[in-house]
Amino acid sequence: MAQNSTSPCSFSTLKDVLRAMRVANSSAEEITSLCPDVCTLAYGNGNPDLSGRGMMSCYLLNVAFSLLCGPTYTLTCWYYWLRAKDKPMAKPKIRRLFFEVQGLFTVPIFIASVVRIEQAPPLFEITFLQFLNWTLAFSFYATFWSLYHSLRKWPMVFYTCCVVALQMTIFTRSGSQKPIPMEARQIIDHCTEHSAIAPQYAGQDWKLQVAVGCAVVGFALTILAIACIYSRASRRPFKRRPVFQMYGICCAGMALYGATQLVAVREAMRNDAGQAFMDDQWGFGQVAAVFMWVPWAIQIAEHVYGLIHSRQGSSSSSDNSSLEEEHNPSDV
């Protein structure tokens, strides 16, 4: 049972609190004054399966690898094209496979997020899920736009459609009244000490998120318009790849912003929960999820080493050829 006879405040979940309020016909002010720990249940004290150390490592590794395989590679190509008129040798197969693995990681996380939102989680978990939705979606888009021309068609279409549909589902469901019913919202409003720790998470004002979304769409359309105007003014054929690569770089910036917000929400939850904070615990699933990314770290390290070794070999061979020319000058 969620509530025993010895302690009237021994609730395990926020649903138990709301059920007890309906049975006793008590108000949010009465329950928060009688049971201060109710505020911890309303705000949340962590969920290791969602925001534990292992899962946070997975989210950050996903963002880091998407930046390496997408925008970072794009900027490297641009640098060599501008400086040396020579693009570095690449293994597009590794990058294509990473996109598909990223899709396999992102889609289940989004499905689990939808399920968790339907379970009426605490306030901090809802906020964390919103920023997780932001971070993983833009990380996926950063890889998508950077590798658009080299991806396999059906995996690209399948994962992209799933990510877009689930992202919009999480966005709309997390902003509705179902995750935080009116009674739970009243409890949150009466937890003034908790709201003072992180006031930006206590409300559900979607104006900022909508404004940022509109700004992202507007910026993308601006890039497209500038590219079209430049193409017509210079009388050159319109090239989509630079536009898509710019989209990838912009999405990477959005993903980095989301990653910083994930860390900020987790730290705010730690400060709010105090000794009851649970996200420092490690579980079986977290360890398994972290080690899922180890093969990709090895692949990328091997790829970078191969690039460095090949360039060193080419430079040494050019030096040897120049020395041979000095020792064996031509008769011309």
> In the predicted model, is pLDDT for residue 120 greater than 70?
yes
> Residue 331: its pLDDT value, please?
41
Please provide the DSSP assignment of 140-196 as one string: HHHHHHHTGGGS-HHHHHHHHHHHHHHHHHHHHHHTSSSSS-HHHHHHHHH-HHHHH
C-beta separation of 143 from 102 below 8 A: yes
> Residue 137: its pLDDT value, please?
93
Q: How far apart are the first and last CA of the chain?
A: 98
Buried b (16+ CB within 10 A) or exposed e, 140-158: bbbbbbbbbeebeeeebee
| Range in 47-61, 99-113, 131-145, 208-222 with the lowest mean pLDDT | 208-222
Cα 305 to Cα 298: distance, rounded to the nearest angstrom:
10
The mean pLDDT value for 311-322 works out to: 52
In which band, very low, low, confident or very high, does the pLDDT at 85 lie, cut at 50, 70 and 90?
low
> In the predicted model, is pLDDT for residue 232 greater than 50?
yes
> In the predicted model, is pLDDT for residue 315 greater than 60?
no
> In the predicted model, is pLDDT for residue 109 greater than 90?
yes
> Residue 138: its pLDDT value, please?
92
In which band, very low, low, confident or very high, does the pLDDT at 326 lie, cut at 50, 70 and 90?
very low
